[in-house]
Chains A and B, each alone.
Chain A
Amino acid sequence: MTAALLDACLALCLPLLAWLVLRTESLSQSVVLFVAMGLLSALAWARLDAPDISLVEAAVGTGLTGALLMHTLSWTDERPPDVAARARHRPWAVVAMAALTGMLGWAVLSLPSDDPGLTREVDAHLAESGVEHPVTAVLLNYRGYDTLLEIAVLLVAVLGARAVNPRSERTTPEPSRDPLTGELFRMMTPALLLVAGYLVWVGEHGPGGAFQAGAILAGGGVVALLTTRLGTPRMSSWRVRWALLTGPLLFIGAAVAPLFSGRALLEYREAQAGTVIFVVELALTVSIAMVLWMFFPGMRPARAERSGKEPS
């Protein structure tokens, strides 16, 4: 009963918050509401027995996206002109929304209600995959293509984001002199590294893996940009390039290697699958952390800069 109530509350709150995010006039309010929505959806994933997704949502979908969107507040107008920011009041918008919800809702509810999907197939071949956790097996063995292409998407996105804003290659001007945040970061670092390492290791037999670990490292990196003297990583540095490329290159190597012994692309030898997957995950963690970290422009918000300069 309590569980059903919680489900109903979450299911109601999510679209409601989504609606509020888009309706609010102030941009900072809608970003904060968006982060709140992300946290609630992390709860929803947990309720749907998807702990892997819950972890990624909390770290990437909400944490890093939230930081990125907060950063936009520094260069956009806090209260954009009414015409631009507020949804132009059109009567068709609400009608279209209701019609779309009704139609899609009907389509979803007319699906068979007890379809196990591919659960049985995955379980039947789990012993050959080299790992014990079905989600990791799907990500890095059965559907290795998806993950390989995904890491390519990440690389292209970071190149694009850096190319359109080459000025963000500048080092961070002046970190905040707040002693508390610096101290907090110093205390946080060992815990962050420990959690990230644990998540890579645990991915073999439980919820966790390269994406979760990379996201946590990248989150620590963003905090480091904001609190320490560490500058934004530069694309021109060879060390950064290697960190970005180790994951994809190793993954491509692991994918192509089976071709030489007459097997298909990404068809690992059963005895070595576990080791190959672990090494690939470790390298992917480094690259994913680097990519996600470099998405963050690293310039301190203009408003904070101004207020920081006042005392001097």
Chain B
Amino acid sequence: MNPWAVYALSGVAMFSVGLVGLFSHEHPVKRILASNIAGSGVLLVLVALARREPTGAPDPVPHALVLTGIVVSVSATALGVALARRIARIDATAKAESTGASDPEAGGGSA
């Protein structure tokens, strides 16, 4: 089998693992990890396809696309982590309020 085909199949498998993981996890950080894995799989397929001609330099267009893709995926990760952190903080505040006040309905309004 051609080396590019080996890596392309590997990328396909990574994408499937990531996609199924994305749907079967509830923890936000795990979901971020899963979407990153699925993304890496797609990028691996792209770069493998760029190497199809056995002689000479690989196709630079997919390479540029993948470079853009990696940087965009790190910014998506950063935004996802920030959102997850915000959710965790809101959850923690809600939990503290419901355990702190004896009657959760009476003590509303404090931020």
Cβ < 8 Å to B, chain A residues 88-132: 88, 90, 93, 96-98, 100-101, 104-105, 108-109, 111-119, 122
CA distance A111 to B50 in the complex (A): 12
Q: Which of A30-67 contact B (CB under 8 A)?
A: 30-31, 34, 37-38, 41, 44-45, 47-50, 52-53, 56-57, 60-61, 64-65
Stretch at the interface among B62-70, B94-102, B103-111: B62-70
Q: Are A108 and B57 in contact (CB under 8 A)?
A: no
For B30, the chain A residues whose CB sits under 8 A away are 22, 27, 30, 85
Binds B, one of A4-12, A190-198, A258-266: A4-12
State whether A114 touches B54 (Cβ < 8 A).
Answer: yes
A-B contact count (CB 8 A): 264
Check A34–B33 contact: CB distance below 8 A: yes
Q: How large is the interface on B (under 10, 10 to 19, 20 to 34, 35 or more residues)?
A: 35 or more
Q: Which residue of B is nearest A22, CB measured?
A: B21
Q: Is B33 in contact with A49, judged by CB distance below 8 angstroms?
A: no
Task: Say whether A138 contacts B63, CB under 8 Å.
Answer: yes
Cross-chain contact B62 with A14 (CB below 8 angstroms): no
User: Contact mask B57-83 → A, CB, 8 Å, 1/0?
Assistant: 111111111111011111111110111
Task: Determine whether the beta carbon of B67 is less than 8 Å from that of A211.
Answer: yes
* Contact residues in B for A8 (Cβ distance below 8 Å): 6
Q: How far is the CB of B38 from chain A (nearest CB, A)?
A: 9
Which of B16, B45, B58, B59 has a CB less than 8 Å from the CB of A100?
B16
Q: Is the CB of B58 within 8 A of A41?
A: no
Give the shortest distance, in Å, between B65 (CB) and chain A (any CB). Answer: 7
The CA of A118 and the CA of B82, in the complex, are separated in Å by: 38
Residues of B within 8 A of A297 (CB): 82, 85
Bound state CA distance, A61 and B20, in angstroms?
21
**Given A72-B84, A117-B61, A139-B64, A60-B21 contact (CB < 8 Å):** no
Asked if residues A87 and B21 are in contact (CB atoms below 8 Å), the reply is yes
Answer whether residue A75 sits at the interface, using C-beta atoms and an 8 A cutoff.
Answer: yes
Chain A residues closer than 8 Å to B29, beta-carbon distance: 27, 69, 72, 76
B82 proximity list for chain A (CB < 8 A): 160-162, 164-165, 297
The answer to whether A118 and B2 have CB atoms under 8 Å apart is no
* Interface presence of A248 (CB below 8 A): no
Interface of A is mostly: helix
Residue from B24, B53, B68 within 8 A of A87 (CB atoms): B24
Chain A residue at smallest Cβ distance from B8: A108
Once the chains bind, are A96 and B65 in contact (CB under 8 Å)?
no
| Cβ contact within 8 Å between B73 and A83 | no
Closest to B56 in A: A119
Interface residue from B6, B7, B66, B76 paired with A157 (Cβ < 8 Å): B76
Please name all residues of chain A whose beta carbon is closer than 8 Å to the beta carbon of B48 when the two chains form the complex.
48
Query: A164's contact among B13, B19, B24, B83, by CB below 8 Å, is which?
Result: B83
Which among A71, A97, A165 is the interface contact of B20 at CB below 8 angstroms?
A: A97
- Please state if B79 and A160 are interface contacts (CB–CB under 8 Å): yes
B95 CB to closest chain A CB, in angstroms?
12
Stretch at the interface among A143-151, A177-185, A224-232, A267-275: A143-151
**A residues at B contact (CB < 8 Å):** 3-4, 7-8, 10-12, 14-15, 18-19, 21-22, 27, 30-31, 34, 37-38, 41, 44-45, 47-50, 52-53, 56-57, 60-61, 64-65, 68-69, 71-72, 75-76, 80, 83-85, 87-88, 90, 93, 96-98, 100-101, 104-105, 108-109, 111-119, 122, 134-135, 137-139, 142-143, 146-147, 150, 153-154, 157-158, 160-162, 164-165, 211, 288, 291-292, 295, 297
Known: A18-B17, A44-B44. 8 other contacts (CB 8 A): A14-B10, A18-B18, A22-B18, A49-B51, A50-B63, A65-B73, A68-B81, A150-B71
Q: What are 23 sample pairs from A and B whose C-beta atoms fall under 8 A apart?
A: A4-B3, A22-B34, A22-B37, A27-B27, A44-B44, A50-B63, A52-B67, A53-B43, A60-B70, A61-B73, A65-B77, A69-B29, A69-B81, A71-B81, A87-B21, A87-B25, A112-B52, A157-B78, A160-B82, A161-B81, A165-B82, A165-B86, A295-B78
